[in-house]
Amino acid sequence: MAQKSFRQALNEALNHEMRRDPNVIVLGEDVAGGSGASGQKDAWGGAFGVTKGLLGAYGPARVRDTPISESAFVGAAAGAAMTGLRPVVEIMFVDFLGVCFDQIFNQAAKFRYMFGGKAVTPLVIRATYGAGTRSASQHSQALYPIFTHVPGLKVVIPSSPYDAKGLLIQAIRDNDPVIFLENKVLYDTVGEVPDGAYTVPFGEAHIVREGGDATIVAIGRMVHFAREAAETLAAEGIDCTVLDPRTTSPLDEDTIIEMTEETGRVVIVDEANPRCGMAADISSIIAENAFGALKAPIMKVTAPHTPVPYAPNLEAAYIPDAKRIADAVRKAVAFQRS
């Protein structure tokens, strides 16, 4: 199977769906190269190169540059989705979605429910998230818990090139609004990706690794650190299951509970801030449904409750890493009830 980057996998997904369905359009800042400006069109393929080549293949009517006005073009995309198109909106950084919460939270997420199930909103909003690129606090947050909180939205956080392609195709074919979040550190990550189109269903977690001593639930980029920690721990005789939920809404609660019952020890790794985050949410689900199976307290490894720092040493300390994950697992394994 061909080796492709996370970025290439996303580009292939967009190409497959735009070729298959003429109603799929792409909107965003610089996705076509900066309309109205001089110079070469599609020089970069958007801020991160994901839309490279789409303008030449599908033309300016389907690959549309927008003004720097996220609230306007997200609202326009929601309206277009209600009237037959399947827009894929690119927002450079998830941090910018704060200016269009009304369009997302109060409108797109609720259309299906406001109109008795007769309205569909096949809208995908792609955005980058996460720290690690020295982009400072307004370009580095992991805001997926906010979107996960809102009923009517689906929230996707791929960790591998394979999942990125399959989940994006699934998102474009879905009839509900989808928030599709890409950790910018992963764009050059390489993995096996089929050439043809395929889908990865929402709400089905991926068991990355199996082991009987502890379960590590990790989201997005954290899956890579969790796997690294699991390999370190295996050398010490501690075997861990690593579980990647892949989507936080819907969340595969059944598999999380099943893995908890098999190992009895759980560490949840979340790049988001700890208060009202995914780690806290998953902890509550486990406590409510599998408390009797726990051999140790649930451990959470998250960023601290601070904005993302700009100083390189502080940013590095902010992001959960394999060492912190391994330490949490060791603490869980060593726990003894008094």
- How crowded is residue 98: how many other Cβ atoms within 10 Å of its Cβ? 13
Rounded to 5°, angle at Cα 13 from 9 and 183: 50
Helix (H, G, I), strand (E, B) or coil at 276: coil
Q: Write the CB contacts of 201 (distance below 8 Å, at least 6 apart in sequence).
A: 170
- In the chain, the N- to C-terminal Cα span, in Å, equals 52
* Mean pLDDT in residue range 306-313: 95
Instruction: Choose the catalytic residue: 16, 139, 206, 224.
Output: 139
For residue range 111-156, what is the model confidence (pLDDT) as tens digits?
999 999 999 999 999 999 999 999 888 999 999 999 999 999 999 9
Q: Does residue 224 carry a catalytic annotation? A: no
Per-residue confidence (pLDDT) for residue 36, from 0 to 100: 66
Tell me the mean pLDDT in the region 239-258. Answer: 98
Average pLDDT taken over every residue of the chain:
96
Give pLDDT, residue 116.
93
The percentage of residues in the chain with a pLDDT greater than 70, rounded to a whole number, is 99
pLDDT, tens digit, 9 for 90 and up, residues 199-214: 999 999 999 999 999 9
Assess whether pLDDT exceeds 80 at residue 264.
yes
Q: How far apart are CA 219 and CA 221, in angstroms?
A: 6
129 three-state secondary structure: strand
pTM, two decimals, is 0.96
Number of residues assigned to the chain: 338
Question: What does the pLDDT average to over 270-277?
Answer: 96
Q: Is the pLDDT of residue 306 over 80?
A: yes
pLDDT of residue 136: 85
Provide the 3-class DSSP secondary structure of residue 295: coil
pLDDT at 1 over 80: yes
Query: What is the pLDDT confidence band of residue 244, given thresholds at 50, 70 and 90?
Result: very high
Question: What φ, ψ does residue 282 adopt, rounded to 5°?
Answer: -65, -35
Residue 177 has pLDDT above 90, yes or no: yes
117: left (phi over 0), alpha (psi -120 to 50) or beta: left
Predicted local confidence at residue 41, as pLDDT:
82
Which residue would you say has higher pLDDT here, 261 or 41?
Answer: 261
pLDDT tens-digit map of 9-44: 999 999 999 999 999 999 999 998 866 667 778 878
Average the pLDDT over 296-324 and give the result.
97
